[in-house]
Amino acid sequence: TQNPKTALTKPTFCHYCTDFIWGLAGYQCEVCNFMSHEKCLKNVKIPCSCIAPSLVRVPVAHCFGPPGHYKRKFCTVCRKSLESLAFRCEVCELHVHTDCILFACSDCRQCHQDGHQEHVSDTYHHHWREGNLSSSARCEVCKKTCGSSEVLSGMRCEWCGILAHSACYIIVTPECTFGRLRNMILPPNCVQLFSRNFSKLHCFRISENLQTESDEDDDVDGSTQGSAKDVQISTDSSKQTLKIFDGNDAVKRNQFRLISVPRIAKNEEVVEAALRAYYINDDQQEYELQTFTQQALLSDDVINRNDDAEDSNLGSVFRESVPEAWIIRAKPKDEEVIRIYAAWLKVGMAYVSLRVNKDSTTQTVIKEVLPLLGRQFLIDPDNNLQCFQIRLMFFLSLVQRMVLDNQELILNRLKDIRKTSIRQMNQTRFYIVENSKSIVQVNLFVGGLPPQLSSEEYTNILKDELAIKTNVVSVSHVYQAQGAVVLEISCFSEAERIYMLVKDTTVNDKPLNAVVIPEVRDSKIPQNCCPLLVFVNPKSGGLKGRDLLYSFRKLLNPHQVFELTNGGPLPGFHTFSKVPSFRVLVCGGDGTVGWVLGALEEIRHKLVCSEPSVAILPLGTGNDLGRVLRWGAGYSGEDPYSILVSVDEADDVLMDRWTILLDAEEPAEGAENGVAEPEPPKIVQMNNYCGLGIDAELSLDFHHAREEEPGKFNSRFHNKGVYVKVGLQKISHTRNLHKDIKLQVDQHEVELPSIEGLIFINIPSWGSGADLWGSESDNRFEKPRIDDGLLEVVGVTGVVHMGQVQGGFRSGIRIAQGSYFRVTLLKPIPVQVDGEPWIQAPGQIIISAAGPKVLAKFVATGNLGEYVALPEGLPEQWPLQRKNG
Ligand SMILES: [Zn+2]
Ligand SMILES: [Zn+2]
Ligand SMILES: [Zn+2]
Ligand SMILES: [Zn+2]
Ligand SMILES: [Zn+2]
Ligand SMILES: [Zn+2]
């Protein structure tokens, strides 16, 4: 712990105990602004931002998307509140100012094993993150409030979600069992991914254009404006403000931080303030300030030659003419002590310290270090050189690795890095790594290809379009029906090249898409674990889909959460294809649900778990399926954690699904320009209902209206209004659907009454919750069920009748019940299936049962969040406890 220095500041809350600090006796750290009571100071165990990176055992980079505005959050680096543009990690609770991002500690959650790290243990420790808890948060240990909306305080485990005070978390048992959601979380040791230089966003398949609406003035080129706000340009004439650059890198980019020091400050004091501004916790005597001259901008060579000459200038920073800008430099050394981490050690002693001089090379270091780490079993010391290598790992916001050449002089390398940036040096580690002939295997899903081709034909397309190198790239899976392949690539740079190139490639005018697929190691999945595969359509329900994506990535393993706009449902099912037992959560409208269920139907035979149960979280307007499964009319901002708990507790029900074959005899109405080419038969899946005539026509108009002005249709309320208005315009029309179609039910011709619309219903909710069949019993028909293998057929006489059904005053005209239907269209007729409308050309429509029924999740109550989570350790079948009131 960096000991905060005394300072009298305005009264505030203690970052340690969250209580108010009365009077002016606060203790504040000058580096990270940590503030506490005097009595709390001696207990503080939270590392200061300047030493936190050195305490991280395995650095894991965060996953920063584009910057945004986040209310009521605090910066993890400087601990101040985020009023301005800031970054957040997309998979953990870390928030930082745009100009603090360079100083963030790379301690994100480890969600997968990177490459062949066989040493990752199968037990997990809590992954504590400080601050940004809700103000109602309760401490696991002392049961008192531990959240604060005033300051960064309190701790939360990023996996199991337990909460504790900064004072209490250290006595919580370190093992983490993933908490209440443990049987739906995909454990990190079950996921393997060769990520290397793929960005985190790519690895977690997060779209990069998340918030395109952020204003452009707030550009994040990291230049001056961010730093300026930290140190108010002092009006106090006894103080002065200086620009401090960190090495050549900062000079080149013109990035500096401002410090404010007394005019009569000693040289050391200025160096110390400069180090503090860069969160460097080293002895100031090892550093010096160099004047910033225009020459420094020229080249590294100029700077190198200046090194000696500058020394004479450094006697005092403050001679008559005070330069406003300085570069912070490390003083040259002939010898120093470096830490070498053993990459294979995950517990116990993580590193050894070693003295290196100007003659030390990578080679000599390996020879010296191995015995210290107990690895002297190789008789021939030269052989050690082939078996081990020294790697540098830089973990400045991105974690990057590089291998040192065997002959390289270590001190020279250190000198070079320091010249570039002393902050970078501070964030660099030496690792000794076993030189395994590791086999690289990157799996890339490539979609958007023409359907129904063979593996060879796909390979040829990829050779032509992407110039893939077939010696390192092979097609491992083909999804013919969907026009997609999975590539197995044994070379990183080739994988990266293909990934980037795919985004700019179109085949037959269709853009290709690429998704990085992690490998799920099914044998490692615990027996009682049935991971949840989550699909979210971010376009459904306004921006709610986006928020849910973010929440689910944080609550679960981001590798189990798939954004449907990024390659559809197939990459998710492919990733889970070997998982022995899993369940699915689909967040979106009925159309999205149909999309996912349709994809599941198509590739069911390729899944080890061929009948996963499917839960639905309705987003947006007019969702009938979610309603029937008692999830309510739609998601309106419930706590994502309670949603996952409800999914876990939901019962399975079976639901019929139907296949509709549409065989047009003549070209559809759309093909006006003469070319009379009959369409091939079309097959669609139906979950909810299928409508012919007026019902489809209304949604067709609505569909057009929505495509013209998509922005207007975000609220569910508004959507309904438009639906009614479009309907009213139709009242004047008269039509005779019963004369334009013929209906056959289970081989029998059925006489149709005078109607304008004919609807086949699978579920007892139509048009956002209406009961079209009605509740009266009727000895001609069975009581409808969603799993009886029967569809109900109902007629409506027109828009007025439909309105009455919507209002609950009437039901439709019962026409038939059956399991096989043939409809003959005598003229073009509007048709809709699960809300997706089009005009169908004359011909045959055949509706029959599709494959296995869907195992859907049926919630026992309509209200989410009514349950109290099961206390730890209770048996699974324990009766549910209800909250009182
Ligand atoms: Zn305190
Ligand atoms: Zn501090
Ligand atoms: Zn900050
Ligand atoms: Zn993170
Ligand atoms: Zn935990
Ligand atoms: Zn506590």
Q: Please state, in angstroms and rounded to a whole number, the distance separating the CA atoms of residues 157 and 477.
A: 38
Has domain 659-850 been given CATH number 2.60.200.40?
A: yes
**Distance of CA 311 from the midpoint of ligand 1 (Å):** 45
Angle among Cα 811, 813, 814 to the nearest 5 degrees reads 105
Structure tokens at 241: 């403000």
| Proximal ligand: closest to the CA of 41 | 1
* Total Cβ atoms within 10 A of residue 802: 25
Report pLDDT for 235. Answer: 55
Residue 237 φ then ψ, to 5° = -70, -15
**Distance of CA 16 from the midpoint of ligand 6 (Å):** 10
**Distance of CA 135 from the midpoint of ligand 6 (Å):** 14
Q: By percentage, how much of the chain surpasses pLDDT 70?
A: 76
Terminal Cα distance for the chain, rounded: 46
pLDDT, one tens digit per residue, over 149-195 is: 888 989 999 999 999 998 899 899 999 999 999 999 999 989 988 87
| Proximal ligand: closest to the CA of 79 | 3
| Proximal ligand: closest to the CA of 16 | 1
pLDDT, one tens digit per residue, over 523-541 is: 889 988 999 999 998 887 7
pLDDT, one tens digit per residue, over 71-117 is: 889 999 999 999 888 999 999 999 999 888 888 888 899 898 877 66
Domain ranges of the chain: 224-320, 335-382+392-434, 442-517, 521-657, 659-850
Contact 341, 432 (CB under 8 A): yes
Q: By percentage, how much of the chain surpasses pLDDT 90?
A: 22
Domain 442-517: state its class: alpha beta
**Distance of CA 105 from the midpoint of ligand 6 (Å):** 25
| Proximal ligand: closest to the CA of 5 | 2
**Distance of CA 173 from the midpoint of ligand 5 (Å):** 9
Structure tokens at 597: 């269920």
* Residue matched to tokens 């409508």: 691
Tell if the pTM clears 0.85, that is, is over it: no
Q: Please state, in angstroms and rounded to a whole number, the distance separating the CA atoms of residues 802 and 807.
A: 9
Q: What does the mean pLDDT of the chain come to?
A: 78
pLDDT at 386 over 80: no
Could you give the C-alpha distances from 875 to 122, 284, 526, 857, 872, in angstroms and in order?
23, 58, 17, 21, 9
**Distance of CA 159 from the midpoint of ligand 5 (Å):** 5
**Distance of CA 4 from the midpoint of ligand 2 (Å):** 6
**Distance of CA 650 from the midpoint of ligand 3 (Å):** 42
Instruction: List all residues 6 or more positions away from 147 whose beta carbon is below 8 Å from its beta carbon.
Output: 18, 133, 134, 135, 136, 137, 153, 154, 163
**Distance of CA 776 from the midpoint of ligand 1 (Å):** 67
Report pLDDT for 874. Answer: 28
pLDDT, one tens digit per residue, over 358-375 is: 888 888 888 888 877 776
**Distance of CA 828 from the midpoint of ligand 6 (Å):** 70
Report pLDDT for 485. Answer: 95
Q: Read off the pLDDT band of 721 (50, 70, 90).
A: very low
Contact 769, 727 (CB under 8 A): no
Burial class from Cβ neighbours inside 10 Å (0-12, 13-18, 19+) for residue 308 reads exposed
Report pLDDT for 345. Answer: 65
| Proximal ligand: closest to the CA of 49 | 2
Instruction: List all residues 6 or more positions away from 536 whose beta carbon is below 8 Å from its beta carbon.
Output: 545, 548, 549, 552, 561, 562, 563, 564, 587, 588
Contact 488, 194 (CB under 8 A): no
Q: Give the DSSP letter string of 49-102.
A: TTTHHHH-SS-B---B-S-B--TT-B-TTT--B--S-EEEBSSSS-EEETTTGG
The distance between the two most distant Cα atoms of the chain, rounded to a whole number of Å, is: 106
CATH fold for the domain made of 521-657? Rossmann fold (3.40.50)
Structure tokens at 726: 């479009």
CATH fold for the domain made of 335-382+392-434? Ubiquitin-like (UB roll) (3.10.20)
Contact 518, 192 (CB under 8 A): yes
**Distance of CA 174 from the midpoint of ligand 5 (Å):** 8
